[in-house]
Structure 1
Amino acid sequence: MATTGAEPAVSNASPLPELAKVRRYEAAGFRAWPAAAVHYDGTWLVRLTAGHPAKRLNSVNPLDPGDVVNIGERIARAARRFDAYGRPLTFRMSPLSGVALSRHLDAEGWSVFSESLVMRAPLDDAAIAEAMDQIPLKDMGRFIGAALKVHGSDASLRPGLSEILGSIQPEAGLFVVEQDEEPLATAICVHDGDLAGLFEIATDAAHRGKGHGRRIVLSSLKWARLRGAREAWLQVEADNEAALGLYRSIGFSEIYRYHYRRPPEA
């Protein structure tokens, strides 16, 4: 549920993370899940994607807590860009956003919603000891069809998802667990130097609780480990208890959190 004003902006009991560490994972996330259009206003990174409605791809991402000059004017400029794309003005607030901007948005009555955790795990031989060898799909169309089915997404998202996957610059592995040619689970693993980022992990609703999610995560990480990755990371919504339980059992721990904000409706 959205919150406003004096209510807590985020429920984060963890110590404040080092900003250099946050910047590293934020940059990896932008490379691994690229927006169609990118603009900078100072150190605010504006990401917009006409073909896909995901908040990560359609948000303002402040990257320096000290960049607080002319906040109102810059918000107005961002609003015009979002309006041109037919997207609601959305800010993605990580620890890089800073207190001053949060207070400004509080004062303007912006809502807070959709908190997520960024988690990491060391990627060594022990971490992937139980992983099965799995070769990622080369057929992007087949993977997209499987991902849309597993996520329960509308087929209209196919062109947008195809554009995103085709724009990923680091090496990306597309993984699917199938049974009788029916997709049960999907995941994307982006190998970026010593990092392995996991994205779009999902299990078909009718087949959850059977270990498919664990299998596909470990197989993806083994693939990245064999290519030189030494650390795994991912993003997960804070209220997804099933996913959090899975990731923690594999060895992931929280680094920092982020959430989204939108202005009050006119």
Structure 2
Amino acid sequence: MSLQIEELALNAWPSLQTIVHHGWLLRFAEGYTKRSNSIQSIYSNGNSNIEQQIDYCEKIYESAGLTTIFKMTPFGPESMDQRLEQRGYTIAEPSSVKILDDISSIREPQMKGILIEEKWSETWLEALSTMNQLSQKKQEITRILLRNSRLKQGFFTLMNDSGPVACGFAVMEQGYVGLYDIVTDKAYRNMGYGEQLLLHILKWAREAGAEKSYLLVVQSNASANRLYDKLNYRHLYTYWYRCKP
């Protein structure tokens, strides 16, 4: 199951270009998000030739003007993390992949001010950009990444009388719905808006045929983890990034 979720996550949040090199995926998106600008060994070829492959990756990312970043998952060579540490790579953003095994009994949302769009819109992107403080460049990359997806997507904006208060998007594949870019406006945090947004997303996904859900969350984000635990998401596996200094 863990490898399946990793594949779903790769599909849901794409890159602008991917190079496959001996079972390693090298992803590029002009530096926006570590997820789309990192290397991971999803189909490991063991511990042979690792040093040569790391050298290859470093040269490719240096030529692209990007920091070399490796995403460390349970699916890569066992010695990979230690080798990168010996090269001076630092750990960044230890994160949890969590799943909800059954969304059929998820309770109904109480707040009704939800806008659901099957395709991304400038209105949705504006709300996301404001809440996440995205630069113009990051907004343009987001447009391209989301426009190129061939999977079923849903874009959600929760509103009160003052306007958008929370937003996010979801991607469906193989009976799962993945939750991405879940954010609440700073002025409205700890008021229940994030939970209501998630309930709307899960309701939409259930009605569209999804049975389970997954998400990725940074372990240090205590409030987000409390919310996901409240909705009965459970930890599946851990990943982190190793960044070249």
Specify the alignment match of 1:29 in structure 2: 9
Letter aligned with residue 75 of structure 2: L
**Unaligned stretches of 5+ residues in structure 1:** 1-20
CA distance in 2, matches of 1:28, 1:89: 23
Q: SS at the partner of 1:125? A: coil
1:85 aligns with 2:71: no
TM superposition shift of 1:60: 0.2
Specify the alignment match of 1:113 in structure 2: 92
1:68 aligns with 2:44: no
**Aligned 1:1-266 pairs, distance under 5 A:** 21-50=1-30, 53-130=32-109, 134-137=114-117, 138=119, 140-180=121-161, 182-263=163-244, 265=245
* CA gap 1:248/1:128 in 2 versus in 1, 3 angstroms: same
TM-score (norm 2): 0.93
TM superposition shift of 1:208: 0.2
Deviations 1:67-109 (A, max 9, x none): 3222222112211221232210000001112322122223223
**Unaligned stretches of 5+ residues in structure 2:** none
TM superposition shift of 1:130: 4.0
CA distance in 2, matches of 1:91, 1:217: 30
Instruction: Compare 132-141 and 120-129 and name the one that shifted more.
Output: 132-141
CA distance in 1, matches of 2:110, 2:203: 7
* CA gap 1:213/1:75 in 2 versus in 1, 3 angstroms: same
Specify the alignment match of 1:14 in structure 2: none
CA distance in 2, matches of 1:229, 1:100: 37
Deviations 1:104-145 (A, max 9, x none): 223223211210000000233322344667551245211111
Paired residues in the alignment total 243
Runs of 4+ displaced beyond 3 Å: 128-135
Specify the alignment match of 1:11 in structure 2: none
Q: SS at the partner of 1:217? A: helix
Asked whether the 8 Å contact 2:14–2:149 carries over to 1, the reply is yes
CA distance in 2, matches of 1:129, 1:175: 16
Percent sequence identity is 24
Asked whether the 8 Å contact 2:168–2:179 carries over to 1, the reply is yes
Letter aligned with residue 226 of structure 1: E
CA distance in 1, matches of 2:63, 2:82: 27
TM-score (norm 1): 0.86
Deviations 1:29-82 (A, max 9, x none): 1110010100111111111112x5200000001114443222222112211221
Asked whether the 8 Å contact 1:132–1:218 carries over to 2, the reply is no
